[in-house]
Amino acid sequence: MVSHNVPSLVMWRDLTPYPGRLIQSSAASPHVLIVGAGVTGLVTAWVLLDKGYKVTIVSKDWANFTPANRLTAQIAGALWEYPPAVCGAHTDRISLSNSKRWCMTAYHAWDAIASLPELSRASGVRMMPSDFFFPAPVEKDPAQFSKMAEIISSGVKGFRHDSKLMEQRNVNPSYGAVDAYELLAPVIDTDQAMMWLMSLVHGKGATTVTETITGDLLHQEETLRDRFGVDAIINATGLAGTEVAGDPTCYPIRGALIRVINDGKDFPRLEAALTITADAVHDSNEIVFLVPRNDNILLIGGIAQPHESTLDLTLASPVVRRMRERCEAFLPGLKNARLDSMYPLAQGLRPFRQRNVRVERELRNIPGTDRPSRTVHSYGQGGAGWSLSFGCAADVANLVEDAMCDLVPTSMEFDHSFSDGSESYGTTTSSFISVSMKSHDE
């Protein structure tokens, strides 16, 4: 087991959460075009701006408060979790090894933001107890026990392995959970955080352009570079990777969350995130996921419906009704919960791909030449966009430097420093698959 305690990007050393840049740009500074304005695109912009880059962000949509038009990043549950998520589809060995590093970089960055009261209030980022419940003692499940050991050594705060958490959180003793552990995790009010990120990158000097870019970026890379006057392009388009990256393995996983009032009047105010593994509910597509969104709203979920791309769920949909019944059975006090009348049901499409997260340079040469592309990809984060954000952005920044030097691109590699180094790793990963289908972070 190795330590994951050295993040690749450190708040105050490598970036600042205030509008002023850490490193000022000049006329000679490199200029980067970012396509996509979700959490991946905005955090990447922030990192590059603080490195002294000039940044232009192009997107067809921006964060907003219209229920039907919110971005995927806003609909996300946005509970940080160490991978693989209890309900996650992140099972590719290369992606998973890198995700462990990415998530810890993000953990420390969000924790730094939450540690300052004024920043916590402005950004909507808080550190909160996050409790995970299991249908058997963790020690009896090799995969879960291995994951718990990694979490303990990862550098997270407030870890506690204690079956008494079930009683302390008013969990129904007959539901099937017999063991639990807790850690302090970033919990993010995504509406507020996205608006804060937009304001932050604007304050640091980013230019924003509302435009839809269609087609494979490779075939228009030189045209886009000329038109926007940029040295490199970053693809942070999520599901649009099918088109803009020429990647047919991208696919959506539809999810939904019910929003209820968490003011302590109808049930004891929930001040911790609660999750139970998918095997405890006997359906890997339907889990129990309870996350306080802010001081007034509790999210209850969740579901995962691969390859469902229509957003036509309602509170009366059978899968949504089962979701609520499942959560009420787990935490009986929720039977009295009042819906958020303004925005009772959030639904969205998580951007997955078959080999999970892709953070790498475009591997194809510019058509008709032997020159490498200057496009860098960061997509496929699925439900883990918030959890992986700063880690992915740090790698993207390094890849942009390589691209501008026209170095030969290489594929993503297995990160040996973030595995236990044992030959049983593949077995451990496969055992997660039986209890996991998707990440509940986004």
Main-chain dihedrals φ then ψ at residue 176, nearest 5 degrees = 130, -5
Residue 218 scores a pLDDT above 50: yes
For residue 326, the cross-strand partners are: none
> Was 333 annotated as part of a binding site?
no
Mean pLDDT of 353-382: 95
- In which residue are the tokens 């966009």 written? 385
Mean pLDDT of 323-351: 95
95: pLDDT confidence band, cut at 50, 70 and 90?
Answer: confident
Q: What percent of the chain has pLDDT over 90?
A: 81
Mean pLDDT of 347-361: 93
What's the whole-model pTM score? 0.91
Mean pLDDT of 213-224: 97
Residue 260 scores a pLDDT above 70: yes
Residue 434 scores a pLDDT above 50: no
3-state DSSP helix/strand/coil % of the chain, to nearest 5 = 35, 25, 40
Q: Residues 273, 128: contact at Cβ < 8 Å? A: yes
pLDDT of amino acid 355: 84
Q: How does strand 179-188 pair with strand 232-235?
A: unpaired
Q: Residues 178, 163: contact at Cβ < 8 Å? A: yes
Mean pLDDT of 8-29: 95
Geometric angle at alpha carbon 139, from 134 and 94, rounded to 5°: 80
Q: DSSP label at 379?
A: E
pLDDT of amino acid 280: 52
413: pLDDT confidence band, cut at 50, 70 and 90?
Answer: confident
pLDDT of amino acid 90: 57
CB environment 117-145: b (16+ within 10 A), e (fewer): eeeeebbbbbbbbbbbbbbeebeebebbe
pLDDT of amino acid 278: 63
Residue 433 scores a pLDDT above 60: no
CA distance 62 to 139: 45
Q: Residues 55, 48: contact at Cβ < 8 Å? A: yes
For residue 276, the cross-strand partners are: 133, 288
pLDDT of amino acid 342: 93
In the chain, what is the straight-line distance between the N-terminal and C-terminal CA atoms, in Å? 29
Residue 242 scores a pLDDT above 80: yes
Mean pLDDT of 48-52: 98
Select from 3.20.20.70, 3.40.50.720, 3.50.50.60, 1.20.950.20 the CATH code of 31-433: 3.40.50.720
Mean pLDDT of 125-146: 94
pLDDT of amino acid 66: 86
Residue 136, CA distances (Å) to 24, 92, 143, 163, 273 in order: 54, 26, 12, 11, 20
Q: Where are the domains of the chain?
A: 31-433
> Was 350 annotated as part of a binding site?
yes
414: pLDDT confidence band, cut at 50, 70 and 90?
Answer: confident
pLDDT of amino acid 92: 74
> Was 241 annotated as part of a binding site?
no
